[in-house]
Structure formats: structure tokens, C-alpha cells
């Protein structure tokens, strides 16, 4: 049995998100678009793909694009159009068409589908008006659904990265078009709260009140426990209640680290025929994630306020305002910036570090705490 770590999951592999998925689907089917905002590795893409999978099974048209992978406007327009045509199994023909116009025009089904959408032919031209293509591609989402008497849900993953593509003008174009569409709803996801706030949350946001905001949080303890036990059983790894509790404690309900914990245990068991202790497993996980975790520390360590407040959150059980000794530090400003970068969130009257392994790294390598204080 394979254990996927780091890639999106759907179906039975996606656990603990049923409430969010049902809410997303109900909202979309009511005609309301949504945005998913959550810290890194919280499973936004998995939630999005599972919602699209279920809508597709119900007969709706769907499409999705990861903005992070899009290098320019032309590719964005092309991928939008290709995803729309995929609903009629014409995406491969369209891909070939990009290089061979004469061949594709012999495809009667394709010719019929692009009636009233002649802009598609422009993708074969050496020179194109990128903005006109994008405008037509966004409009095509709704026009294609209307033509086939369908509803369509189109998702833009990591939409906050749209800034790299003349973001302000693109956002204005999106808003001007989709607010008038009748057959289309959208899912926008993003990792950085500050960028997503600028786009969707504040009163000056271009999409203000156009979308319902959904924020996935940590998974509940009982769900984590059940998932860990089931995976151990399927992997044929003997375990105790202590092993399960360790997984819950180390992952703290973080979807990515639950899977990494199980995988790390599996590797250790396959090598030694025994289960690792908590310190060993944390050490192994930190080695696996070394580059990523050190990059997170680099992002905040250069700025005194951010560094100071993160350390205070960890050492004061989530209460950074309590007894802060550095008067030069503006705690409120630092908290807002850390939230905007997705490093912390507020939950049940305290602040939490969103990445549990990052917190363990700080306790070990920065604060130099004893191993008994890592957990």
C-alpha cells in the first residue's frame, strides 16, 4: 500500500473535512462562489479537488487551474479554455490544435463546439492580444455552460499568486466578468491571508461580498486518532495506544504532518522492526523537512519584531501580550504580519503556530530547550 505525503488527496484519503466540503458544495450549488483561506499545507487543494470531484459526479461541469504554475497571460487563457473544453473531452484535441490548426478544423465535433467562440482560433496565431484572449477565456466559462444547459464550477488554486501576472488588472477583469455570469460559480484558494484579505475580505477588496469565505483549521483529535490507527493497520505495522497518541501530539491535527508521522513510522519499522520513540520520530521528521523549516525561519528571523513575538507565543502558551519584556516590539503589528504570512492563527483565546514541526524546530534549535520540553 502506498502512503501519499505532500500531494493532494481525495475520496477516502481525505479525512476530517466533510463539514467543509458539504458547506462548499451547498454554497456553490446555491449560486455563491467561495474562497478557501488557510495556512500552508492545510489541505486546501485536496478540499477543492474533492468538492470538484463530487460536483462532477452530480453532472456539473468543472475546471481547475493552479495559478502557481502559470507563467504568463497567454498560458492562463489557454489553460482556462482547455479546462472548459475538458468537460466535453476535447482538451486533448485543443492541445494538438495549438500546433496544427488545419488538422483540428477537420474535427467536426470540435468545430461544432467552438461555434460562437471563434477566439479559440487565435491560440494558433503567432501574435495574440493577450488581454483580449483572457477576457474571452473567462467569458467562455459561462458561455460554454450555458450552451450545454449546465452549471459549471471553476477553481483557481493559489489565486493569491495572480499578482505575478499584472494582478490588479487581472482581478478587475475577473470581477467585471464573473459578477454578471449566471451559470458559473468559482472556488478561489490562497495561502497568504494578507494577499487574500486584499482580494476578498476587506471592504475595499475587489471581490468583497462576492464570495463566502471558508477557513479550514486543524483536524479534530478523534479524527486524527482514527486515521492513524487505520493507516497503521493497512500498512501492517503493529502499534499501541501510545503510538497513536504520539501521532496526535506531534501532528497537532495538521493534515500534512499526520501523514508524515505515519510515513516516518513506516520507514523506521521497515528498517528496525520496531516503532520509534517520540524524540526519534521528531528528529527524523525534522531531517525530512529541514530545507522547508529552515526557510520558514529565514522568513521571520531577520525581523526582530516577528522573531520576538514567535518566540513569545511558544514560550507563553500562546499569550504573546503577557509580560513581553521588549518595549520596542509592537506586538499587535507583529501578530498581524505573522497572521498575514500564515505563520500564526488565533484559536480559543490564544495564538497558535500553524506549523507544528516549525514550532518543534524552534524549541530545539533556537530556544535550545531540553528534549522533554519539545512536546
The pLDDT score that the predictor gives to residue 48 is 96
**Predicted TM-score of the model (pTM):** 0.90
- Segment among 6-10, 115-119, 234-238, 309-313 with least mean pLDDT: 115-119
- Residue written as cell 496544427? 100
> Given pLDDT bands bounded at 50, 70 and 90, which one contains residue 193?
confident
- Segment among 31-45, 50-64, 319-333 with least mean pLDDT: 319-333
pLDDT more than 70, % of the chain:
95
Say whether pLDDT at 268 is over 90.
yes
Across the range 131-144, mean pLDDT stands at 94
The pLDDT score that the predictor gives to residue 105 is 65
Say whether pLDDT at 303 is over 80.
yes
The pLDDT score that the predictor gives to residue 222 is 95
Distance CA 286, CA 355 (A): 12
- Angle (deg, nearest 10), helices 255-272 and 221-235: 30
Does residue 165 contact residue 70 with C-beta atoms inside 8 Å? yes
More confident: 149 or 92: 149
The pLDDT score that the predictor gives to residue 223 is 95
> Is domain 11-214 classified as CATH 3.60.9.10?
no
More confident: 66 or 199: 66
- Look at residues 140, 125, 7 and name the one whose alpha carbon lies nearest to residue 86: 140
The runs of H, that is alpha helices, within the chain are: 18-29, 44-57, 73-85, 91-97, 101-104, 108-113, 130-147, 167-178, 193-196, 221-235, 241-251, 255-272, 278-288, 290-301, 304-315, 331-340, 356-361
Across the range 207-226, mean pLDDT stands at 90
For residue 101 the three cell numbers come to 490548426
Does residue 293 contact residue 286 with C-beta atoms inside 8 Å? yes
Say whether pLDDT at 196 is over 90.
no
Say whether pLDDT at 40 is over 80.
yes
Distance CA 265, CA 26 (A): 38
The pLDDT score that the predictor gives to residue 203 is 74
Say whether pLDDT at 46 is over 60.
yes
The pLDDT score that the predictor gives to residue 169 is 85
- Look at residues 184, 144, 143, 151 and name the one whose alpha carbon lies nearest to residue 58: 151
The pLDDT score that the predictor gives to residue 372 is 77
> Given pLDDT bands bounded at 50, 70 and 90, which one contains residue 5?
confident
Average pLDDT over all residues of the chain: 89
- Segment among 96-105, 107-116, 265-274 with least mean pLDDT: 96-105
Q: Is 209 helix (H, G, I), strand (E, B) or coil?
A: coil
Distance CA 10, CA 46 (A): 6
Distance CA 268, CA 279 (A): 13
> Given pLDDT bands bounded at 50, 70 and 90, which one contains residue 374?
confident
Q: Which of the given ranges, 98-102, 150-154, 171-175, 299-303, has the highest pLDDT on average?
A: 150-154
More confident: 311 or 104: 311
Distance CA 22, CA 2 (A): 27
The pLDDT score that the predictor gives to residue 99 is 67
For residue 121 the three cell numbers come to 482560433
Q: Using one digit for the tens of pLDDT, what is the confidence trace for 48-101?
A: 999 999 999 999 999 999 999 999 999 999 999 999 999 998 888 788 777 666
Across the range 259-287, mean pLDDT stands at 93
The pLDDT score that the predictor gives to residue 172 is 87
> Given pLDDT bands bounded at 50, 70 and 90, which one contains residue 325?
low
> Is domain 300-369 classified as CATH 3.30.1360?
no
The pLDDT score that the predictor gives to residue 202 is 74
Amino acid at each position: 500500500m502506498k502512503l501519499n505525503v505532500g500531494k493532494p488527496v481525495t475520496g477516502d484519503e481525505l479525512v476530517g473535512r466533510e463539514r467543509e466540503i458539504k458547506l462548499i458544495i451547498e454554497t456553490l450549488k446555491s449560486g455563491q462562489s467561495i474562497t478557501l483561506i488557510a495556512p500552508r499545507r492545510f489541505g486546501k487543494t485536496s478540499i477543492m479537488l474533492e468538492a470538484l470531484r463530487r460536483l462532477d459526479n452530480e453532472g456539473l461541469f468543472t475546471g481547475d487551474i493552479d495559478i502557481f504554475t502559470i507563467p504568463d497571460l497567454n498560458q492562463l487563457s489557454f489553460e482556462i479554455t482547455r479546462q472548459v473544453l475538458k468537460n466535453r473531452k476535447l482538451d486533448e484535441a485543443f492541445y494538438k490544435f495549438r500546433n496544427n490548426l488545419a488538422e483540428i478544423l477537420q474535427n467536426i465535433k470540435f468545430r461544432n463546439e467552438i461555434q460562437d467562440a471563434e477566439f479559440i482560433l487565435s491560440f494558433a496565431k503567432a501574435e495574440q492580444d493577450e488581454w483580449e484572449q483572457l477576457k474571452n477565456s473567462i467569458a467562455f466559462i459561462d458561455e460554454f455552460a450555458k450552451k450545454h444547459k449546465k452549471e459549471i464550477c471553476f477553481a483557481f488554486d493559489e489565486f493569491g499568486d495572480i499578482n505575478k501576472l499584472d494582478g490588479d488588472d487581472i482581478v478587475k477583469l475577473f470581477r467585471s466578468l464573473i459578477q454578471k455570469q449566471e451559470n458559473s460559480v468559482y472556488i478561489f484558494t490562497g495561502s497568504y491571508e494578507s494577499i487574500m484579505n486584499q482580494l476578498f475580505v476587506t471592504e475595499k477588496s475587489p471581490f468583497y461580498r462576492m464570495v463566502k469565505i471558508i477557513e479550514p483549521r486543524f483536524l479534530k483529535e478523534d479524527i486524527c486518532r482514527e486515521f492513524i490507527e487505520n493507516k497503521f493497520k493497512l500498512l501492517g505495522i503493529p502499534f499501541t495506544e501510545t503510538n497513536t497518541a504520539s501521532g496526535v501530539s506531534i501532528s497537532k491535527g495538521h493534515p500534512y504532518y499526520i501523514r508524515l508521522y505515519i510515513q516516518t513510522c513506516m520507514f523506521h519499522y521497515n528498517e528496525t522492526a520496531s516503532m520509534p520513540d517520540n524524540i526519534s520520530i521528531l528528529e527524523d521528521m525534522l531531517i525530512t523537512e529541514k530545507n522547508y523549516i529552515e526557510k520558514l525561519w529565514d522568513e521571520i528571523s531577520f525581523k526582530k519584531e516577528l522573531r520576538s513575538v514567535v518566540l513569545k507565543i511558544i514560550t507563553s502558551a500562546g499569550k504573546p501580550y503577557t509580560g513581553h519584556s521588549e518595549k520596542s516590539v509592537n506586538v499587535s503589528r507583529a501578530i498581524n504580519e505573522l497572521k498575514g504570512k500564515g505563520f500564526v492563527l488565533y484559536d480559543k483565546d490564544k495564538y497558535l503556530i500553524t506549523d507544528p514541526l516549525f514550532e518543534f524546530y524552534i524549541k530545539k534549535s533556537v530556544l535550545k530547550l531540553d528534549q522533554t520540553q519539545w512536546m
